[in-house]
Amino acid sequence: RIRQASPYGHLRNWRLVAAIVKCGDDLRHELLAYQFMVRLKEIWFIEHVPVFVRPINILVLSNNSGLIEPILNAVSLHQIKKNSKLSLRNYFLREFGTERSEEYLTAVKNFVQSCAAYSIICYLLQVKDRHNGNILLDDEGHLIHIDFGYMLSATPKNLGFESSPFKITQEFVDIMGGLQSDMYGYYKILILR
């Protein structure tokens, strides 16, 4: 019905897409982060570095408005913790099965590969304001960072942010199996590649 009403509905490449409409926010930092992630993703692909990053499409319309692509198969870490009342490790066990199941092991590997990629991105872009509300977890175990408004020394004057160059919490390490685990070792190897 929507396609029939569209003046462009007859075109083969016509499609309906979801978008978050933002007003009152300057999305140029978001666009810069998107462009940077796209370039890094290309480099990692060429160099055969098995990391995962999910750049989110941004359309800047003016200095205070734009459109952002929503991530439909993911939920914020804040929502996970609030709704499930579980640690992230226990959430993984509930969602992906026992520690030895193929689904669980794949989800942990996805988590590590995405955590490594976003650790590098946050370090290089000096991203601040990393909290559980702007880090998502998708249905395959990948972390996806959103909201890059505070990066490259752009921070509000009256707010203090973490001094850590990227977010790697004890809960993240627990999902990997601890500091002595093979997966944590894999995380470190990915960061150094």
CATH number of the domain enclosing 146: 1.10.1070.11
Report pLDDT digits (tens) over 112-148.
999 999 999 988 988 877 788 889 999 999 999 988 8
Angle at 131 between CA 19 and CA 125, to 5 degrees: 80
The count of domains in the chain is: 2
12, 101: one domain: no
What is the pTM (predicted TM-score) of this model?
0.86
78, 64: one domain: no
118, 57: one domain: no
Residue segments in the chain with a per-residue pLDDT below the cut of 70: 153-166
Residues 6+ apart with CB under 8 A from 25: 64, 65, 66, 149
118, 148: one domain: yes
Do 54 and 143 meet the contact criterion of CB atoms below 8 Å apart? no
Q: Which pLDDT score is estimated for 155?
A: 64
178, 128: one domain: yes
Q: Which pLDDT score is estimated for 159?
A: 56
Do 38 and 30 meet the contact criterion of CB atoms below 8 Å apart? no
81, 145: one domain: yes
Do 148 and 127 meet the contact criterion of CB atoms below 8 Å apart? yes
Angle at 108 between CA 105 and CA 111, to 5 degrees: 155
Residues 6+ apart with CB under 8 A from 8: 14
Question: What CATH number corresponds to the domain at position 56?
Answer: 3.30.1010.10
Q: Which pLDDT score is estimated for 162?
A: 57
136, 108: one domain: yes
Q: Which pLDDT score is estimated for 158?
A: 53
The encoded tokens of residue 12 equal 């083969």
64, 156: one domain: no
21, 84: one domain: no
H/E stretch holding 74 reads: strand 74-76
User: Which residue in 72, 41, 35 sits closest to 57, CA to CA?
Assistant: 35
Residue 135 burial by Cβ neighbours in a 10 Å radius (0-12, 13-18, 19+): buried
Residues 6+ apart with CB under 8 A from 1: none
| Full domain range(s) for residue 29 | 2-68
Among candidate residues 68, 92, 123, the one where a domain is terminated: 68
